[in-house]
C-alpha cells in the first residue's frame, strides 16, 4: 500500500495545502481504520478524500465495492492510473459536499475518510443527509473537533455539535494519532472516531430541524442561562424550564436526553 505513497511523492513532490491534504504513512493505523469498518462481503464503502490511495488499496483487497470521492482532479487521475485494474473501484472527481444520493451506490453505505480538517464538520453534516442509508462511519478529525463531537455535558468542549452528532450516532474514540504519522508531517494531533447510527427520537425531519434550531439557540451564549438564550419563549414556557430544571440552568448542563424531554414538553412533540 505504501508503494502508492512513494509513487505519489516521486510524481508530485508535495500535497495541496489548500485542500488540507495530509496522507497517512503508518500501515498499522491504516489497517486499524479498515478493521473498524467491520466489513462483510459485497458491502458498499464510500471513501471521502482518498489522497494517494493507501486506505483505498487496503479496502480493495476485501470482497466489497469501493467508491472514492475527491475534489482533486490530480488525485483522481493518479488513482485511476494505479488502481484501474480493480473492478470493484469507482472514482468520482467531485466535491463531496455537492454529491447527490443517486451518485452513490444503492442500499446501505459505510463511509470512511481522513477528512480535510477545514471542512470536516460540513462533511459530517452531509453524511447525515444520507442517514437512512448509513450503516457505519469511520472518520479522522482534528483532535479538538473530535473532542467536541464526543463531549459530555458540563465540559468546556460540549456544544450544539456534540448534541447534533450524539442524536444520530453512538460514537467511539478509536485512537489519537500524532502528526508524525502523516506526509507531510503536521503539528496537529488527529483522532479516529467510529459512528454507529442509533434510533432517532423524532420521525419527522421537519421536527428534527426545529429541535436542532432549539439546541443551537440554547448554546448561543455560554454566559447566559438557558432561559435568557431562549428569550423567544413565552412566559408559560419559561415557567416550564424553571419547573423541570431550575431557573439558573445553562445549556451546557443539559444532556441529549434532557434536551429531548424539554423540547417535547415545550412544544408537545
For the annotated binding site, the residues are 22, 24, 49, 70, 95, 114
Which residue, 19, 62, 72, is CA-closest to 41? 62
Residues of each annotated binding site for S-adenosyl-L-methionine? 22, 24, 49, 70, 95, 114
Rounded distance between C-alpha atoms, residue 180 and residue 21, angstroms: 14
- Contact between 1 and 82 (Cβ < 8 Å): no
How many CA within 13 A on the CB side of residue 92?
20
Which residue, 171, 156, 166, is CA-closest to 252? 156
Rounded distance between C-alpha atoms, residue 201 and residue 27, angstroms: 39
For 18, other C-beta atoms within 10 Å of its C-beta total 9
Rounded distance between C-alpha atoms, residue 79 and residue 154, angstroms: 45
- Contact between 58 and 89 (Cβ < 8 Å): no
Q: Which position has the grid cell 503508518?
A: 26
**Three cell numbers, residue 54:** 493507501
Amino acid at each position: 500500500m505504501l508503494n502508492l505513497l512513494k509513487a505519489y511523492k516521486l510524481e508530485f513532490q508535495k500535497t495541496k495545502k489548500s485542500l488540507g491534504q495530509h496522507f497517512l504513512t503508518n500501515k498499522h493505523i491504516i489497517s486499524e481504520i479498515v478493521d473498524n469498518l467491520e466489513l462483510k462481503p459485497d458491502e458498499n464503502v464510500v471513501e471521502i478524500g482518498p489522497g494517494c490511495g493507501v486506505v483505498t488499496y487496503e479496502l480493495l483487497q476485501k470482497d466489497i465495492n469501493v467508491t472514492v470521492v475527491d475534489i482533486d482532479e490530480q488525485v483522481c487521475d493518479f488513482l485511476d492510473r494505479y488502481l484501474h485494474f480493480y473492478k470493484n473501484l469507482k472514482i468520482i472527481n467531485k466535491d463531496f459536499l455537492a454529491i447527490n444520493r443517486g451518485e452513490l451506490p444503492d442500499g446501505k453505505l459505510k463511509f470512511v475518510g481522513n477528512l480535510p480538517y477545514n471542512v470536516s464538520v460540513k462533511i459530517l453534516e452531509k453524511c447525515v443527509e444520507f442517514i437512512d442509508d448509513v450503516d457505519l462511519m469511520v472518520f479522522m478529525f482534528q483532535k479538538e473537533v473530535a473532542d467536541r463531537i464526543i463531549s459530555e455535558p458540563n465540559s468546556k468542549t460540549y456544544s450544539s455539535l456534540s448534541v447534533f452528532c450524539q442524536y444520530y450516532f453512538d460514537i467511539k474514540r478509536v485512537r489519537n494519532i500524532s502528526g508524525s504519522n502523516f506526509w507531510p508531517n503536521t503539528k496537529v494531533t488527529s483522532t479516529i472516531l467510529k459512528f454507529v447510527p442509533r434510533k432517532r427520537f423524532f420521525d419527522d425531519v421537519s421536527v428534527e430541524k426545529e429541535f436542532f434550531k432549539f439546541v443551537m439557540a440554547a448554546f448561543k451564549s455560554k454566559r447566559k442561562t438557558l432561559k435568557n438564550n431562549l428569550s423567544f419563549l413565552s412566559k408559560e414556557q419559561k415557567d416550564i424550564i424553571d419547573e423541570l430544571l431550575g431557573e439558573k440552568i445553562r445549556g451546557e448542563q443539559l444532556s441529549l436526553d434532557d434536551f429531548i424531554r424539554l423540547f417535547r414538553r415545550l412544544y408537545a412533540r
